[in-house]
Amino acid sequence: MTPAAVLAATPMSTGEMWVFIPLGILALVGALGMVAARNAVHSALFLVLTMLCLGVFYIVQSGPFLGVAQIIVYTGAIMMLFLFVLMLVGRDASDSLIETLRGQRVAAILLGVGFAGLVCVGLGRALAGTTAKGLAEANSAHGGNVQGLASLLFTRYVFAFEVTSALLITAAVGAMLLAHIERRKGERPTQPEQMRARFAPGNYPAPKAGPGVYATSDSVATAGLLPDGTLAARSIPEILPPRELTSSETAPKGTDR
């Protein structure tokens, strides 16, 4: 049975259907785009798209609190923090897509599609005769959606709810452990030490001359000339050896015209 048939089998108001179909497609596009995008920032933005669509779904299915929490907390706060971190770390670091196992990607896609098909067909068959119960009863039992959630959290699942704090502590300790380097006294040079090192004999305290400043060309490979006419190796990047340039290299390139 196709998903469309499942949709047809369950009662769904016209409005709900018109919200679900475009947003469902958008959510899928976001999920696929998140996996396929090479740039980490694009991935994160695709994920934001999917999460926003999910938030709308929750609201449509009469779970307004969950939907708003999804949008404010996950999309608004967590994903934005995630983006900040990506921007700080450097957004041009993209994954290398070299396969270490031959054919792994093809096999993974085939298995993934197969599993998705299995789940869709299975759920389609399983839910064909089921009528949706909806949240109306659960929402009215305690005087509202939020109250209903609260009564579950603080009665039946109170222990699980409290135990999740252990998860948060573990996560915080783990982040400190794996990402924070504690520097003790003496590991980082102090400002007076840096100044002394700067003016110590053998070090050149002034800024370095740029390449080509005292030379006849504007190439970065042209070393500056010292007063005695020798090449100043310090004025060009370390990876370029100081050398005499050919006349064609030193000739003006005509870029000023």
Instruction: Name the minimum Å distance from CB 164 to another protein.
Output: 6
Other CB atoms closer than 10 Å to residue 103's CB: what's the count?
9
Burial 77-91 (b: 16+ CB within 10 A, else e): eebeebbeebeeeee
Number of residues in contact with another protein under rule CB under 8 A: 37
Asked if residue 114 binds another protein (CB under 8 A), the reply is: no
- Least separation, in Å, of the C-beta of 37 and another protein? 19
- The dihedrals phi and psi of 19, each to the nearest 5 degrees, come to -80, -40
- Does position 208 bind another protein by CB under 8 A? no
Note whether 166 binds another protein by CB under 8 A.
yes
Instruction: Name which position in 101, 160, 200, 239 contacts another protein (CB under 8 A).
Output: 160
Count how many residues are written for the chain: 257
- Span from 34-42, 90-98, 151-159, 216-224 in contact with another protein (CB under 8 A): 151-159
239: contact with another protein by CB under 8 A: no
Q: Least distance (Å) from another protein to the CB of residue 125?
A: 6
Which CB, 94 or 130, lies closer to another protein? Answer: 130
One character per residue 123-142, x = contact with another protein (rule: CB under 8 A): x-xxx-xx-----------x
Check if the beta carbon of residue 205 is closer than 8 Å to that of residue 198. Answer: yes
Cα-based distances in Å from 71 to 24, 66, 85: 16, 9, 19
Please tell me the distance from the alpha carbon of residue 119 to that of residue 124, in angstroms, as a whole number.
8
> Cβ 246 to another protein, closest distance in Å?
42
Q: CB–CB of 235/209 below 8 Å?
A: yes
* Choice between 18 and 154, CB closer to another protein: 154
Comparing CB distances to another protein, the nearer of 80 and 150 is 150
In order, the DSSP letters of 53-87 are HHHHHHHHTT-HHHHHHIIIIIIIIIHHHHHHHHH
Residues 167-186 that bind another protein (CB under 8 A): 167, 169-171, 173-174, 176-182
- Angstrom distance (rounded) from CA 152 to CA 71: 22
Find how far residue 76's CA is from the centre of its chain: 14
Tell me how far, at minimum, the Cβ of 141 lies from another protein, in Å.
10
Q: Is 157 in the site for another protein (CB under 8 A)?
A: yes
Distance CA 8, CA 146 (A): 30
Question: CA-based Rg of the chain, rounded to a whole angstrom?
Answer: 31
Give the nearest distance from C-beta 67 to another protein in angstroms.
18
Annotate each residue in 186-205 with x if it binds another protein (CB under 8 A) or - if it does not, as one string. -x------------------
Which residues contact another protein by CB under 8 A?
A: 119, 122-123, 125-127, 129-130, 142-143, 147, 150-151, 154-160, 163-164, 166-167, 169-171, 173-174, 176-182, 187
